[in-house]
Amino acid sequence: MTRYDEIKSIVDDPDTYSSSNAIPVLWQNPEPVVEALQGIIPEAATVVNTDKPQHAPLRKVLDCAFSDRRIRRRMSLMRTRSAELVDQFAGAHRADLVSAYADPYVQLIVSDVFGIPAEDNDRVQGWTKHGTDMVPAVSRDDLHYMFRGLRFAGHDTTRDLMTSALLLLLDNDRQLWEMVRADHPALQQVIEETLRRDAPHRGLMRVTTRDVEIGGTPLPAGTSLPLLFGSANRDETRFAAPDEVRLSRANIHEHLAFGTGIHQCPGAQLARTEVRTAIETLLDRLPDLPLAPGYEPSYVASFFRGLERLDVTW
């Protein structure tokens, strides 16, 4: 599925299009692998792969974890951590903003949101207990499994969004960079256009629960459907001149980079806030930042869309 309207209609109809196959799970590995994991990794539910009614209690836990209040409480930490990281490489006058900035920054913030580092076991246990008491339908194993998945996904996608936005700002003689330097609020539109043009997650799967017809093609129950959100975000029938950066798009927020419907990414606002804060720090601390001479972007071989490096000098 590559077109915007088709994908939107699918994700808005979870009764017909199940999320049970949304992403591969550990227990779909060959039998010897599954046997080796028994007793080490809990076989439990993950919010991405669950349908109603199992989905609701899992989602309730996440909505609490990623509430606006919790995000606001971490903005000071975001500013502090981003400034500390700039301090570490500012004197070198050259850096890879993937490895020296975006990656460790997101690691630090996500770790704080989830109550790690690992040695802080009491804090993690307290969070887990709170979630279990608040939503009895969620087991400890569910929380453990969900925690692992979100820790992974929340790191990679946010890091890749940040570096893609920075590349967009610094490319083409830094025209967007200079514009945002003079008008920081415009950075939010840059982030939304980055999410649309360079969605950090290429897509997810769905499976039909009954016989359906899509685009004139009949599909029996049990048909697996890859939903390519990155393609939908460049659908010219939804977004005029989709390859162009247009900060004034009337539908700039209608991209599917974070999904939509009941499975819309619960950490979307946290990711936006992390990225905006980190880029604002660079705008203030290294206002004349350019791409390194001869730099050419290359991307990791993954279902995430992420830069391997982002070399800059100053």
Q: How confident is the model at residue 146 (pLDDT cuts 50, 70, 90)?
A: low
Average pLDDT over residues 142-156: 68
Q: What pLDDT, on a 0 to 100 scale, did the predictor assign at position 117? A: 64
Q: How confident is the model at residue 149 (pLDDT cuts 50, 70, 90)?
A: low
Q: Is 304 helix (H, G, I), strand (E, B) or coil?
A: strand
Spatial separation of the C-alpha atoms in residues 272 and 266, rounded to whole Å: 12
Q: What pLDDT, on a 0 to 100 scale, did the predictor assign at position 310? A: 98
Has residue 33 got a pLDDT over 60? yes
Has residue 30 got a pLDDT over 60? yes
Average pLDDT over residues 166-189: 96
Asked if 307 contacts 163 with a C-beta cutoff of 8 angstroms, the reply is: yes
- Across-strand partners of 225? 206
| Digit-coded pLDDT (tens) for 303-314 | 789 999 999 999
Q: What pLDDT, on a 0 to 100 scale, did the predictor assign at position 304? A: 84
Spatial separation of the C-alpha atoms in residues 57 and 216, rounded to whole Å: 36
Q: What pLDDT, on a 0 to 100 scale, did the predictor assign at position 112? A: 84
Average pLDDT over residues 18-29: 85
Task: Return the higher-pLDDT residue of 140 and 164.
Answer: 164
Q: What pLDDT, on a 0 to 100 scale, did the predictor assign at position 132? A: 39
Q: What pLDDT, on a 0 to 100 scale, did the predictor assign at position 140? A: 67
Q: Can the peptide bond before residue 32 be classed as cis, meaning omega within 30 degrees of 0?
A: no
Has residue 43 got a pLDDT over 90? no
Asked if 263 contacts 283 with a C-beta cutoff of 8 angstroms, the reply is: no
| Digit-coded pLDDT (tens) for 91-138 | 999 999 999 999 999 988 888 887 776 466 445 445 544 543 447 466
Task: Return the higher-pLDDT residue of 135 and 80.
Answer: 80
- Across-strand partners of 204? 227
| Digit-coded pLDDT (tens) for 195-213 | 999 999 888 999 999 999 9
Predicted TM-score (pTM) above 0.95: no
DSSP string for 154-185? HHHHHHHHHHHHHHHHHHHHHHHHHHHHH-GG
| Digit-coded pLDDT (tens) for 211-262 | 999 989 999 999 999 999 999 999 999 999 999 999 999 999 999 999 999 9
Q: What pLDDT, on a 0 to 100 scale, did the predictor assign at position 147? A: 65
**Domains of the chain with bracketed CATH:** 4-313 (1.10.630.10)
Q: What pLDDT, on a 0 to 100 scale, did the predictor assign at position 311? A: 98
Percent of the chain past pLDDT 90, that is, above it, reads 66
Q: What pLDDT, on a 0 to 100 scale, did the predictor assign at position 221? A: 98
Has residue 273 got a pLDDT over 50? yes
Average pLDDT over residues 158-170: 97
